[in-house]
Amino acid sequence: MEKKQLVGFVNQKKKGIYNVLVEIYAEVLSASLSTPMALEIIRQDLQSASSDPVELNLSSLLKAITKAKKKGILKMEKPKKKWDFKDAYELKEEQRPAGSFTV
């Protein structure tokens, strides 16, 4: 779909246009940018393709992003935290084992 057509649909406030925008700009949205910054990047990209001003709604974009996450279209990568469980005998010398107290 051409960007001029997308700008026309956004300005006409057609139903489902934000879902299409999320699918097209999935790479920008899945990057480690905040959503308002990604919204500004999308807005600038659409305005560069068309001479018409583009007004995007942040809440509508957020709703479309959550729908895409549930469907699996948009995958956000979270850093996986590895748990490190240790028994009392595996603890370092700096740490006191469980149950030992100093008076």
The mean predicted confidence, pLDDT, of the chain is: 85
Taking the C-alpha atoms of residue 21 and residue 39, their distance in angstroms, rounded to an integer, is: 10
CB 63 within 8 A of CB 33: no
Taking the C-alpha atoms of residue 96 and residue 40, their distance in angstroms, rounded to an integer, is: 51
Question: Is residue 44 assigned to a domain?
Answer: yes
Question: Is residue 21 assigned to a domain?
Answer: yes
Question: Is residue 25 assigned to a domain?
Answer: yes
Q: In this structure, what are the phi and psi dihedrals at residue 81, rounded to the nearest 5 degrees?
A: -90, 125
Provide the number of structural domains found in the chain.
Answer: 1
CB 21 within 8 A of CB 6: yes
CB 22 within 8 A of CB 68: yes
Percent of the chain surpassing pLDDT 90: 37
Query: Of 21-25, 56-60, 71-75, 95-99, where does mean pLDDT reach its minimum?
Result: 95-99
